[in-house]
């Protein structure tokens, strides 16, 4: 597979020059919570008793939040980004073979290099390899359903898997999750930590999903839907989907910080 970062689907992501000067010690851009789901979203019933009701206390980016854990290739194994092979026992997993790829960038469009991306999903039948999942679709003996990758110098990542299936869950009497892949991303500071889900272009369950529709902003919701990327597919092998992830941008330090005591 070509590890060269291809062009991004959102033209703004291809901006040649960073918008801000090189990284300083600055905190992160204020999180725009209007594009995130609110903590209390009654249509997603599990959120009702698990959502804080007091106002969040604002911190302007202390050293505790602009720093975060650093990971390296020593943390990963050679098959960690190949979900077709990383749990194969006596053959390949059942399902549509796909590659998922994209870039992790920040809000200025700058690539986030060497950051850990983790992903997990149900198998092609919509069943998770998890002791708490009791859905009647069968476990696939050759599919674990998780993997991880480090982005390269440009923020690019990729992995191979099979397309997950939709599955029913207890929210309304007849609620089904659209096919999705869970993503966990770190960034360079703990304030950028993010978990999200990627969906697939054209899935009719998307507009009626009680979890996806917790997102109040239509454009923000659409950005979680990965398009088919035929150019990145491999003929007679696998289709490809493109999923770019944007983490919070970091303020620059234009001038020296005040010294202690000032």
Partner 1 sequence: MPQPLNYLKETASQTAGPYVHIGLIPAMAGFDIFEKNFSNVLTTPDTQGERITLEGKVLDGTGTPLRDVLLEIWQANASGRYNHPADRSAGALSEEFRGWGRAGSDFESGLVTFETIKPGAIVDRAGRTCAPHVNVWIVARGINIGLNTRLYFSDEEAANAADPVLNLIEQPSRRSTLIAKRTERGGKVVYSFTINLQGPEETVFFDV
**182 belongs to the catalytic site:** yes
Of the candidates 250, 254, 255, 257, the one whose C-alpha atom is nearest the C-alpha of residue 107 is 250
Active site residue 15: no
Q: Smaller CB distance to partner 1: residue 58 or 174?
A: 58
Closest separation between CB of residue 262 and partner 1, Å?
Answer: 8
157 is catalytic: no
Q: Is 230 in the site for partner 1 (CB under 8 A)?
A: no
In contact, 229 and 103? CB cutoff 8 Å:
no
DSSP summary character for residue 65: H
Segment lying near partner 1 (by CB under 8 A), choices 91-99, 131-139, 156-164, 200-208: 131-139
At 181, list the tokens.
């892949």
CB 103 within 8 Å of CB 232:
no
Q: Give the phi and the psi of residue 44 in degrees, each rounded to 5.
A: -105, 95
Catalytic residue among 128, 156, 157, 199: 128
Range 29-68, binding partner 1 (CB under 8 A): 29, 31-33, 35-39, 41, 44, 46-54, 56-59, 61-68
User: Quick check: is 73 catalytic?
Assistant: no
| Rg from Cα positions in the chain | 20
- Is the CB of 60 or the CB of 237 nearer to partner 1? 60
Residue 75, interface with partner 1 (CB under 8 A)? yes
Q: Which of 6, 9, 129, 137 touches partner 1 (CB under 8 A)? A: 129
Number of alpha carbons in the 13 Å side-chain half-sphere of residue 32: 11
**Alpha-carbon gap, residue 114 to 68, rounded angstroms:** 13
Take residue 158 and report the two structure tokens written for it. Answer: 């990729």
Is 214 among the residues that bind partner 1 (CB under 8 A)? Answer: yes
Residue 136 touching partner 1 (CB under 8 A): no
Catalytic machinery residues: 128, 167, 177, 180, 182
């Amino acid at each position: 597979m070509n590890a060269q970062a291809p062009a991004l689907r959102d033209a703004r992501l291809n901006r040649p020059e960073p918008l801000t000067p090189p990284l300083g010690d600055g905190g992160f851009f204020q999180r725009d919570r209007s594009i995130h789901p609110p903590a209390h979203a009654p249509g997603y019933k599990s959120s009702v008793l698990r959502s804080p009701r007091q106002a969040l206390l604002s911190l302007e980016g202390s050293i505790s939040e602009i720093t975060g854990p650093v990971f390296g290739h020593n943390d990963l194994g050679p098959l960690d980004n190949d979900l077709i092979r990383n749990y194969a026992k006596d053959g390949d997993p059942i399902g549509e073979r796909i590659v998922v790829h994209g870039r992790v960038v920040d809000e200025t469009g700058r690539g986030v290099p060497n950051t850990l991306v983790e992903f997990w999903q149900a198998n092609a039948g919509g069943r998770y390899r998890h002791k708490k999942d009791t859905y009647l679709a069968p476990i696939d003996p050759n599919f674990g359903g998780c993997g991880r990758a480090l982005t390269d110098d440009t923020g690019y990542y990729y992995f191979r898997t099979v397309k997950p299936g939709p599955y029913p869950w207890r929210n309304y009497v007849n609620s089904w999750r659209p096919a999705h892949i869970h993503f966990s991303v770190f960034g360079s500071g703990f304030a950028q930590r993010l978990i999200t889900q990627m969906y697939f272009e054209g899935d009719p369950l998307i507009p009626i999903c009680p979890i996806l529709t917790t997102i109040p902003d239509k454009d923000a919701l659409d950005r979680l839907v990965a398009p088919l990327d035929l150019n990145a597919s491999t003929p007679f092998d696998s289709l490809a989907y493109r999923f770019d992830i944007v983490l919070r941008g970091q303020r620059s330090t234009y001038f020296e910080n005040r010294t202690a005591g000032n």
